[in-house]
Amino acid sequence: MRLVPLLNLFCKGADLLESNLYRFVLIGNKMQNFGPSLQIGSQRKFALALLAVPLFLTSLYSAPTFQEKPKNSKPSELLKRDNHSEIVIPVIGLNLHLFADQKSDVLRKLKFGEPVTYDQNSLESPKEDWIPVKLQDGLSGFIKRSLVRSVPKKQYLSTLLFEAEKLILSKQVDFLAKEEITDTIFSISSSGKFTGDEFIFIRAKAGFFLKKTVDLMNEKGIKPDNDPETLEFLKRHQTKLLYDYSSGKYYVDSNYFWKLLESYPKTKHSDYAGYLATESIPVVDCGVDLRCRLEELRKGKLRYLYLFPTGNYVNLYTKDIVKTLNSMTKDPDSIPCFPPVSEGIKSEINQMFRYASEIGPREKKQILPHLQILKKECFR
């Protein structure tokens, strides 16, 4: 596997646009009716069944449907509620209407999670079914209340990320929509609205969404050389991505998460970011290359144990590390440490000793014996 930062590929410049190299790594640069014979009771049962069917047929991309809410809130109550709430757009392509009327002109379609605020200067009196909103570019209009989430300010981030993750993980949502969601979350995370725990949480989630979106691109075989939108998407996130020449696939650089941890090492969500960093490391086919196998362990799961000795994933990763090391050391004579032993192998063993000496005592007790066998066989 030959991984290179995507940024390095884009930086080669426009001179490669028409070259064979560019063509090779383009992205481096760029129940309708029932018979009358039914009994009354049966008709009622069938009617109820018919009412239930649409609940299972509505897709995420169907024209939004809604149920009219009873108009029982006073204008003053609506005004107070809207003034103290934040609005989350949980769908793709929500209509922004000129007036509080379904038949009025659609000014434009809103993106998932697009920041909107309650328009306090709206001349129309508050309505149960509509919310007057203003966009960041100053455009004002009305959105259907039943199609959005209006939540207290302290619940905005958790609601936004919940709705985003629901769509990102859905198999019914296409690649372009997931691009939009990922872009939106990254944009909001960079707005300066969130700091500390909230900042590392939204940035970690944004990285997770990017990983899932790129994974889908690899799975579907989507290539940027015939998809300009995909090319632009990858360019926007080039500093967070790696490209593998051998497989032609893209990966989120685990260093994106590790650097996030270095900047915010003791926050509430650091453990989650560490987990994502570990899981983002591409699986390498090392074969019998001992240095490669040790490096993969050290840069991922052992590094997590080193940074988070009481983390949520310690038991899982310890078990994986011990299993891998046991497969290497169960027959010491078969360890591929043939003289002259490379400095790369010695360096990896020494670094693993340093990491393992500073992890939790229970984990250390399980891992160190295997490292001692490796050192004995490779440092003769």
- Per-residue model confidence (pLDDT) at position 75: 65
Q: 355 or 22: which carries more pLDDT confidence?
A: 355
Mean pLDDT computed over 357-361: 94
- Three-class secondary structure assignment of the chain: CCEEEHHHHHCCCHHHCCCHHHHHCHHHHCCCCCCCCCCHHHHHHHHHHHHHHHHHHCCCCCCCCCCCCCCCCCHHHHHHHHHCEEEECCCCCEEEECCCCCCCCEEEEECCCCCEEECCCCCCCCCCCEEEEEECCCCEEEEEHHHCEEEEHHHHHHHHHHHHHHHHCCCCCCHHHHHHHHHHHHHHHCCCCCCHHHHHHHHHHHHHHHHHHHHHHHHHCCCHHHCHHHHHHHHHCHHHEEEECCCCEEEECCHHHHHHHHHCCCCCCHHHHHHHHHHHCCCCCCCCCHHHHHHHHHHHHHHHHHHCCCCCCHHHHHHHHHHHHHHHHCCHHHCCCCCCCCHHHHHHHHHHHHHHCCCCHHHHHHHHHHHHHHHHHHCC
Per residue in 107-134, pLDDT (tens digit) is: 999 999 999 999 988 888 778 899 999 9
The set of residues, in sequence order, having a beta carbon less than 8 Å from that of 14 and lying 6+ positions away, is 29
Query: How much of the chain, in percent, has pLDDT values that exceed 90?
Result: 66
- Per-residue model confidence (pLDDT) at position 64: 43
What's the CATH number where 123 sits?
2.30.30.40
- Per-residue model confidence (pLDDT) at position 22: 36
Q: 213 or 227: which carries more pLDDT confidence?
A: 213
Determine the Cα angle at 90 with ends 84 and 91, to 5°: 140
Query: How much of the chain, in percent, has pLDDT values that exceed 70?
Result: 82
Domain limit, last residue, from 153, 170, 189: 153
Confidence band (pLDDT; 50, 70, 90) for 4?
A: confident
Q: Is residue 371 part of a domain?
A: yes
Distance (Å, whole) CA 11 – CA 34: 66
- Per-residue model confidence (pLDDT) at position 15: 45
For tokens 């579907």, the residue is: 220
Q: Are 239 and 223 in contact (CB under 8 A)?
A: no
Report the range of poorest mean pLDDT among 110-119, 165-174, 209-218, 262-271. Answer: 262-271
Distance (Å, whole) CA 32 – CA 24: 54
- Per-residue model confidence (pLDDT) at position 73: 61
Domain limit, last residue, from 103, 124, 153: 153
Which of 29-43, 199-213, 278-292 ranks highest by mean pLDDT? 199-213
The domain total for the chain is 2
Average of per-residue pLDDT values in the chain: 85
Mean pLDDT computed over 233-240: 97
Distance (Å, whole) CA 212 – CA 173: 12
Report the range of poorest mean pLDDT among 35-44, 254-263, 266-275. Answer: 35-44
Q: Is residue 212 part of a domain?
A: no
| pLDDT of residue 61 exceeding 50 | no
Mean pLDDT computed over 53-65: 40
| pLDDT of residue 17 exceeding 60 | no
HSE at residue 180, side-chain half, CA atoms within 13 A, is 17
Go through 128-142 and write b for each residue having 16 or more CB atoms within 10 A of its CB, e for each that does not: bebbbbbbeeeeebb
How many residues make up the chain in this entry?
A: 380
- Per-residue model confidence (pLDDT) at position 38: 45
HSE at residue 128, side-chain half, CA atoms within 13 A, is 8
| pLDDT of residue 202 exceeding 90 | yes
- Per-residue model confidence (pLDDT) at position 28: 43
Confidence band (pLDDT; 50, 70, 90) for 11?
A: low
Distance (Å, whole) CA 208 – CA 344: 32
Mean pLDDT computed over 190-209: 95
Please state the φ and ψ torsions of residue 267, each to the nearest 5 degrees: -90, 170
| pLDDT of residue 42 exceeding 80 | no
Distance (Å, whole) CA 184 – CA 182: 5
Domain that residue 85 falls in: 75-153
Q: Is residue 41 part of a domain?
A: no
Q: Is residue 91 part of a domain?
A: yes
| pLDDT of residue 18 exceeding 60 | no
| pLDDT of residue 40 exceeding 70 | no
Mean pLDDT computed over 222-238: 93
Q: Is residue 164 part of a domain?
A: no
| pLDDT of residue 77 exceeding 90 | no
| pLDDT of residue 35 exceeding 60 | no
Domain limit, last residue, from 153, 179, 209: 153
| pLDDT of residue 49 exceeding 80 | no
Burial class (CB in 10 A: 0-12, 13-18, 19+), 6: buried
- Per-residue model confidence (pLDDT) at position 76: 65
Q: Is residue 119 part of a domain?
A: yes
Mean pLDDT computed over 190-204: 94
- Per-residue model confidence (pLDDT) at position 74: 66
For tokens 């129940």, the residue is: 31
Q: Are 88 and 166 in contact (CB under 8 A)?
A: no
Please give the single-letter amino acid code of residue 256. Y
- Per-residue model confidence (pLDDT) at position 72: 59
Q: Is residue 289 part of a domain?
A: no
